[in-house]
Amino acid sequence: MAMTITEKILAAHAGKESIVPGELITSKVDLVLGNDITAPLAIREFKKIGVAKVFDKERVTLIPDHFTPNKDIKSAEQAKLMREFAREQDLTHYYEVGRMGIEHCLLPEQGLVGPGQVIIGADSHTCTYGALGAFSTGVGSTDLAAAMALGETWFKVPESLKFVYHGQLPRWVGGKDLILYTIGKIGVDGALYQAMEFTGPVIEALSMDGRFTMCNMAIEAGAKNGIIAPDEKTRSYLDGRSKFPCTFYASDEAAEYIKGYEIDVSKMEPQVAFPHLPENTKPVSAATAIRIDQSVIGSCTNGRIEDLRLAAEIFKGQKVHRDVRTLIFPGTQQIYLQAMQEGLMEIFINAGVAVSTPTCGPCLGGHMGILAKGERAIATTNRNFVGRMGHPESEVYLSNPAVAAASAILGRIASPEEIMLK
């Protein structure tokens, strides 16, 4: 029976030769993930189950990244609960402040996720790891607790959508623009509980960092998961990095999809998602009159080294506009170090940018970069819901790092070309 890559991975983990969309299965999991917001609840529920130990101390990962370094007493207590549980269970992959990173940047970097695996996390952007050819998806804290105990969980097999990208990417257009354009095309519920499979020559040419960005935002279209078939780029990324066995799967030619999309990228501009939904996308040329108060570059969506290099290319020799606060959040300590070694941090600081330790804080309006009433931000994050980064009457516009950097310099949403032509 012909199957998609998503169906093949789930079938293998369910111990079945084949499965079909809509089928209920019990699946083994290769890794479970919690953070300082979601893990404390899961830990409390885990202790109610009555088992002494997690199913595998190598495959339960806890990362305090949302309100860390701790912003207040409550967040400190949350982190303390995680820390004590990690010690009690002797978890191999607990990452403390100073060694941790934003979870969806850190896990691939550390080789904890890979092709053919089933990964669940109590965070909606766990779908990021589909960039490596894994089935990865977000779950609730109670489901996480059960999986921590059992090493398995249940799924309804999702239907699959196929997105084929053709053409040549224009300058300044990358993975963030592809996924914003796609969400704008199908809507925030256009892939509800479905697998978004990204393919075609544009995806084959896309960097791993660009692929992570695309799969990271599959959830913003309502998808169960986003996925890209692993290839030689994937293999090169994993070389010397993978800690667990991997299996490369690909969809069969005769696999069935609920719907297919053909997208020509040749004339695509950088995309900007207007408030208050990621589907509200327009080309950057339609946004250039919008004044901003803050620019945020980083997050699990665009906090990787390629993103920082792109921003540095724009900031080099420039200054942040006097009316704009600009914040950069490298995704991990290793990315931070690499940016320092490449001279990117000097460029940022000379431009008037504030650089932070890795944290999710500003993305969810948690800390470090909260917006006041009436303020506008452009951000390389993944959501721009009402009140997402602060006051309910603030606004968030989503873009790629080059647009966010150009906007920081000009004090309004701007195309990178405007800076390069100055």
Whole-number pLDDT of residue 422: 63
What single-letter DSSP state applies at residue 380? S
Q: How many helices (H) and strands (E) does the chain have?
A: 15, 18
Q: Say if residues 223 and 191 touch (Cβ distance below 8 Å).
A: yes
Whole-number pLDDT of residue 187: 96
Q: Which residues of the chain fall below pLDDT 70?
A: 421-422
Could you give the C-alpha distances from 142 to 38, 80, 251, 265, 324, in angstroms and in order?
A: 9, 20, 32, 41, 41
Whole-number pLDDT of residue 418: 86
Three-class SS state of 378 = strand
Whole-number pLDDT of residue 421: 67
Q: Who contacts 111 (Cβ-Cβ below 8 Å, separation ≥6)? A: 238, 241, 242, 243, 244
CA–CA gap between residue 365 and residue 384 (Å, rounded): 11
Domain extent listing, the chain: 5-262, 271-420
CA–CA gap between residue 83 and residue 62 (Å, rounded): 9
Whole-number pLDDT of residue 81: 95
Class of domain 5-262: alpha beta
The predicted-structure confidence for 115-162, as pLDDT tens digits, reads as follows 999 999 999 999 999 999 999 999 999 999 999 999 999 999 999 999
Q: Say if residues 13 and 28 touch (Cβ distance below 8 Å).
A: yes
Could you give the C-alpha distances from 113 to 159, 234, 245, in angstroms and in order?
A: 23, 12, 9
Q: Give the CATH number of domain 271-420; options: 3.30.930.10, 3.40.228.10, 3.30.499.10, 3.30.1360.180.
A: 3.30.499.10
Domains 5-262 and 271-420 share a fold: yes
